Amino acid sequence: MENNTANSVWGPYPNYDDIARLEYGQQMWRHDYMRRRLLAHWRDERHPHRERFAEHREQVEMALNSSDTDEALNRQFLSQGTSLRCVAREIPPVFGHFFAK
């Protein structure tokens, strides 16, 4: 990723945890088994971000389904009044103690 592109999307102080959830979330989303597993995990009653995920699910799934560059995806989100940076923040984390197989 070019630095100027990265800066335009993620800002001068990127949050690597957010970017990692997007990057590896997209990787895992391509596999039916992992996609189903992540969805079940994020909708699990024990997941503290369950309600946030339900609220932002459409945009989170749009980000995870995308094979566009971060810059192109960001442009799409900007046209919707948000940004890739904001959507990535809404990708829930994975907690290993109930990430059921």
Mark 7-26 with x for binding to another protein (rule: CB under 8 A) and - for no binding.
---x---x-x--xx-xxx--
Question: Following DSSP, what letter does each residue of 18-52 receive, concatenated?
Answer: HHHHHHHHHHHHTSHHHHHHHHHHHTSTT-TTHHH
Number of residues in contact with another protein under rule CB under 8 A: 22
The verdict on 28 binding another protein (CB under 8 A) reads yes
Helix, strand, or coil (residue 69)? coil
In one-letter notation, the amino acid at residue 86 is C
Q: Does 30 bind another protein (CB under 8 A)?
A: yes
Whichever of 33 and 81 has its CB closer to another protein, that residue is: 33
